Structure 1
Amino acid sequence: MAGDTYALVLLSAAKWLTDLGIVWLVGVCAFRVVADRVGASDVGPGELERRLTRHAGLALALLFVAVAARLYAQTYSSFGLEEPVTGDLLRLVAEQTRWGGRWIWQSAAVVVGAPAVAMVAARMRWGWQLLGAAAVAIVGTAPMTGHALAYSGGALIPMALQIGHLLAAGVWLGTLFVMLSAGLRSLRHGAGDGAAAVSRLVDRFSPVALTAAATLAGTGVWTAYLYVDEIPQLWETVYGRVLLLKTGLFGVTAGLGAYNWKRVRPLLGAAGGADQLRRSGTAELLVALTLLAVTAWLVHLPMPGE
C-alpha cells in the first residue's frame, strides 16, 4: 500500500473510531432521557442503570483510544512517510501545530468525561448531567479538526452544522444501539407485561428518532451546499462521488428506520415483536456503521476547488 494511501486509511479509521465513540456516548445520554419518560416499573431501573453505566464507560474508553489514534495518524500523515513515528514527533504535532492545538481541546473534553462516568457509577448527584455536558463538549470540539475551520466563507456556520449533524447522529443511531443492546434486555427485569413495555419504549423513541433523522438530513444537505460549488462536482471530483455514496447509504439507513417505524413498531405488542425489532434494528445499525466509515473517509478528502 502506498504511503499516501496508508496515511488516508489511518486518518479515516481514527476518525471512524472517534465518531463511533461520540455517537455511542450521545446515545447513552439520550436513551436515559427516553427511558425516564417510560417509567421505572417498565424498564427495571437498577438493571438499566447498570447497563447504561457500562455503555457509558465503554464509549468513553473507545474515545480515549480514538483520540490517541488520531494523534498517531496525523503524525504519520505529516512525518511517517519519511521517518518512523516517535514520541518526540507525537509531542511535536500535539504541542506545536495548529492541528495539535485543536486536538488538545478534543482530548480535554474526553478527559472531562472520565470523572462524570465515575460519578454515574457511584450514583452521585448530577453525575448524568455532568456526563451529558461532557458529551456535548466532545461533540462541540469534534469539528475543530475537520473541514469546518478550513471553509473560506467562515467557520461559524459549518461548525454549527457539524455539531448539529453529529448530535443528531448520536440521538438517532446511538440511542437505537443502546435501546437494542441495553433497553430491551432490561425490560426482562421489570414488572408487568414485557411486550407492552417494549411497545411503550419504542413509542417514546420513535418521535425522537424521526426528529434526529430529519436534522441529520437537513444539516447534511446544507453542509454539502456550502462545500460543493457546482453540481457537476458531485461526479467529477472524488469528494463529490464519496458524498453521493454517503447520501445513498443515508437513504438506505433512513429507509430501514422507516420500515421499523411503520411496519415493525405496530407489531411490538405481540409475541416475537421485540425479536423482530432487534433483527431489523441491527440491520439498520450495520448500514449506519458503513455510513460512518464513509463519512470518516469524506472528512479527509480535499473539498472541491482545493
Structure 2
Amino acid sequence: MAGETYALVLLSAAKWLTDLGIVWLVGVSGFRLLTRPGWPGFSRDLVGLEGRLVRYAGLALLLLVAATVARLYAQTYASFGLDEPVTGELLRVVSTQTRWGDRWVVQGAAVVLSALAWVLVMLRVGRSWLLFGAATLVVVGTTPLTGHAMGYSGGVLLPMVLQIGHLLAAGVWIGTLFVLLSVGLRSMASYGPKHGLVLAPLVDRFSPVALTAAGTLAGTGAVTALLYIDEVQQLWQTVYGRALLAKITL
C-alpha cells in the first residue's frame, strides 16, 4: 500500500509540475502579446521588458523539461517500481514500447520545439515570439495525450478539448497575471513618474481577457468534473475526485 501511495504521489506531483510549467509558458506568451509593438497604448518603455521576459520563458521551459522527465520516471515507477527498482532499461521500455510512451515522446517533441523557438527569441530572429507562441500552443495541445482524457469511456475528443481549454484559460489568466506582476511591475517601477502611464494600458487591455479566461477556466473545470464524477462520494473515494478537491482547496 505504501508503494502504491508513493506512486500516486509521484504521478500527481509530476502532473502538477507539468501544469505549472505550461501555465507559466502560456503566461509569458500572453504577456508578450499584451506588450506587442503597434497595439494601442503601446509604450517604447516596454521594450526594456524583453530581457526579463526571455529569462522567464527559459525558466518555464526548464521547469517543463524537468516535469516531462519526472512524468516518465513516475509512470515507470507506477508500472514496475512496486516490484523492482527503476532502471534506465525500464525507462527505455516505458518510453519506447508502450502506448503511453509513444504519447509521451510526442509531448517531449513539443517541449523541444518550444525550446528551439526560445533559442530563436534569444537570437532576436524575426517573428520568433510568434513561433514561440505557436510552439506553446502545441505543448498545450499535446498535454491530454498522457492524461485521464485518454481513458474516458465516452470518447476522448470532449475531455481532450476541455483539458486543453482549461489549461489555456489558466495560462492566459493566472500565468499572464503572474508575469504581469512579477516582471511587468518590477521593471516598470524603474520608470518613476511614467510608471502609471506605462502600466495603465496593459491593465486595461488585460482585464477583459482575464475575465473571459477566468470564466472559461471555471466552465471547463465544471464540465470536466461532471464527466468524471457521478456521485458526491466519488470526490473523496476516487483519485480524480481527491485531485479535484485539492485543486479547489488551492
TM-score range, shorter chain: over 0.9
Amino acid aligned to 1:81:
L
CA distance in 2, matches of 1:79, 1:236: 25
Write out aligned runs for 1:4-43 (5 A). Answer: 4-36=4-36, 37=39, 38-43=41-46
**Cα distance change of structure 1 residues 26 and 66 upon mapping to structure 2, 3 Å threshold:** same
Does structure 1 conserve the Cα–Cα contact (< 8 Å) formed by 2:165 and 2:220? yes
Percent of pairs identical after alignment? 65
Amino acid aligned to 2:147:
G
Amino acid aligned to 2:230:
D
Does structure 1 conserve the Cα–Cα contact (< 8 Å) formed by 2:7 and 2:74? yes
Match of 2:209 in 1: 208
How many pairs align? 247
Match of 2:77 in 1: 76
Deviation at 1:244, TM superposition (A): 4.0
Say which SS state the counterpart of residue 193 (structure 1) adopts: helix
Does structure 1 conserve the Cα–Cα contact (< 8 Å) formed by 2:42 and 2:201? no
**Cα distance change of structure 1 residues 8 and 158 upon mapping to structure 2, 3 Å threshold:** same
Deviation at 1:193, TM superposition (A): 2.0
Deviation at 1:231, TM superposition (A): 4.4
Does structure 2 conserve the Cα–Cα contact (< 8 Å) formed by 1:42 and 1:191? no
Deviation at 1:229, TM superposition (A): 2.4
In structure 1, runs of 5+ residues without a counterpart are 250-290, 292-306
Say which SS state the counterpart of residue 35 (structure 2) adopts: helix
Write out aligned runs for 1:1-306 (5 A). Answer: 2-36=2-36, 37=39, 38-43=41-46, 45=47, 47-190=48-191, 193-231=194-232, 233-234=234-235, 237=238, 239-247=240-248, 249=249, 291=250
* Aligned Cα root-mean-square deviation (Å): 1.9
Q: Spell out, residue by residue over 1:207-232, the C-alpha distance to the aligned partner (whole angstroms, 9 max, x if none).
A: 11111100000111111111122445
Deviation at 1:189, TM superposition (A): 4.7
Q: Spell out, residue by residue over 1:237-280, the C-alpha distance to the aligned partner (whole angstroms, 9 max, x if none).
A: 56435434433x3xxxxxxxxxxxxxxxxxxxxxxxxxxxxxxx
**Cα distance change of structure 1 residues 121 and 237 upon mapping to structure 2, 3 Å threshold:** closer
CA distance in 2, matches of 1:144, 1:171: 21
CA distance in 2, matches of 1:205, 1:137: 23
**Cα distance change of structure 1 residues 76 and 245 upon mapping to structure 2, 3 Å threshold:** closer
CA distance in 1, matches of 2:175, 2:34: 13
Amino acid aligned to 1:58:
L
In structure 2, runs of 5+ residues without a counterpart are none
Match of 1:295 in 2: none
Match of 1:299 in 2: none
| TM-score normalised to structure 2 length | 0.92
CA distance in 1, matches of 2:74, 2:244: 23
